[in-house]
């Protein structure tokens, strides 16, 4: 493997909290049922989530790179567009990471339920067709919906299912803030890339809404994330601890509404990732000590 640093860049570490947070929350939720956590299942769920997130990042890098929609990019370096790695090399790495996620998912399914195999297949198809294939849905404004479903509902409820073999209202409620927080990261990306995406006919939600309304929608996601976290107090009163994250939420919202554009929005990705991890850890603490 030539220059491992390039692969680390392509994995986009700042996006990984979106994969870690829902697994923490879904796993901790099992403590509400006064049951012991199955640590092997939890680790397998975490591996699947992380590997899928990394695979999505590589596949997006490849697909956007060969389409030319990543040229003159404002955001973090992309491997194909920058010429650091060949398109074929990035595609192979995406396939390899998807394969690794599949192996971990298969092991988890064998330990829990074969239904997880179907969920895994759907997740991989959705991940590849986000920016890949003949008609990528990420270019049509469905990115946030996909992120909410797969890195909110599926990741959180799936992690809980890996422990309990059940799907409950509690796991659904816990998945809402995780999905909203994951969408915030994507929404910041899309707001940053709005001018470039308009030029290449990439109709993200930000492009469809326009700059001002995209900012309002992003603030709306911040509000949903904060309020839905607080509603978990009905499951565990300690969920009120998520108010600790309120200053981070407000800070991101202020910067967004202040009109930050282009490269000015890049630091917000790290802040959004930290917000998701802080919120997830607070929710995890609240649920695990119920």
List the CATH number of the domain containing 176. Answer: 1.10.600
* pLDDT tens readout for residues 172-182: 999 999 999 99
Separation CA 95–CA 98 (nearest Å) = 5
Do residues 26 and 46 make contact, with C-beta atoms less than 8 angstroms apart? no
> The pTM is what?
0.90
Helix 39-67 × helix 115-128 angle, to 10°: 20
Residue-wise pLDDT tens digits, 200-224: 788 999 999 999 999 999 999 999 9
Give the number of domains in the chain: 1
Over the stretch 66-113, which tens digit does the pLDDT of each residue have? 876 655 656 667 788 777 888 899 999 999 999 999 999 999 999 999
Tell me: pLDDT of 18 over 90.
no
CA dist., res. 109 & res. 111, Å (int) = 5
% of the chain surpassing 70 pLDDT: 96
Structural domain including 209 reads 4-288
Write down the pLDDT at residue 73: 59
Phi-psi region of 190 (alpha: psi -120 to 50; beta: other; left: phi over 0): alpha
195: nearest Cα among 285, 241, 263: 263
**3-class DSSP string for the chain:** CCCHHHHHHHHCHHHCHHHHHHHHHHHHHHHHHCCCCCHHHHHHHHHHHHHHHHHHHHHHHHHHHHHCCCCCCCCCCCHHHHCCCCHHHHHHHHHHHHHHHHHHHHHHHHHCCCHHHHHHHHHHHHHHCCCCCCCCHHHHCCHHHHHHHHHHHHHHHHHHHHHHCCCCHHHHHHHHHHHHHHHHHHHHHHHHCHHHHHHCCCCCHHHHHCHHHHHHHHHHHHHHHHHHHHHHHHCCHHHHHHHHHHHHHHHHHHHHHCCCCHHHHHHHHHHHHHHHHHHHHHHHHHHHCC
């Amino acid at each position: 493997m030539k220059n491992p640093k390039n692969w680390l860049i392509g994995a986009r570490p700042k996006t990984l909290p979106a994969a870690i947070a829902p697994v923490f929350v879904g796993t901790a939720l099992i403590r509400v049922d006064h049951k012991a956590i199955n640590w092997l299942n939890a680790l397998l769920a975490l591996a699947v989530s992380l590997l899928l997130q990394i695979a999505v990042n590589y596949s997006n890098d490849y697909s956007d790179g060969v389409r030319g929609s990543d040229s003159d990019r404002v955001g973090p370096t992309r491997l194909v567009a920058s010429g650091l790695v060949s398109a074929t090399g990035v595609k192979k790495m995406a396939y390899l990471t998807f394969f690794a996620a599949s192996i971990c998912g298969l092991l988890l399914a064998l330990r829990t339920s074969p239904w997880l195999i179907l969920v895994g297949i759907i997740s991989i198809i959705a991940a590849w067709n986000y920016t890949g294939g003949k008609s990528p849905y990420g270019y049509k404004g469905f990115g946030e919906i996909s992120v909410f479903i797969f890195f909110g509902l599926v990741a959180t409820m799936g992690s809980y299912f890996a422990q309990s073999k059940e799907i409950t209202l509690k796991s659904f409620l816990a998945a809402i803030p995780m999905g909203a927080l994951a969408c915030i990261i994507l929404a910041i990306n899309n707001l940053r890339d709005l001018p470039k995406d308009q030029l290449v006919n990439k109709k993200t939600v930000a492009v469809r809404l326009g700059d001002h309304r995209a900012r309002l929608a992003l603030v709306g996601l911040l509000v949903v994330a904060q309020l839905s976290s607080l509603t978990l107090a009905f499951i565990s009163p300690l969920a009120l601890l998520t108010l600790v994250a309120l200053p981070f939420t407000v800070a991101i919202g202020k910067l967004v509404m202040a009109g930050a554009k282009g490269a000015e929005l890049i630091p917000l990705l790290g802040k959004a990732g930290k917000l998701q991890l802080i919120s997830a850890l607070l929710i995890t603490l609240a649920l695990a000590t119920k």
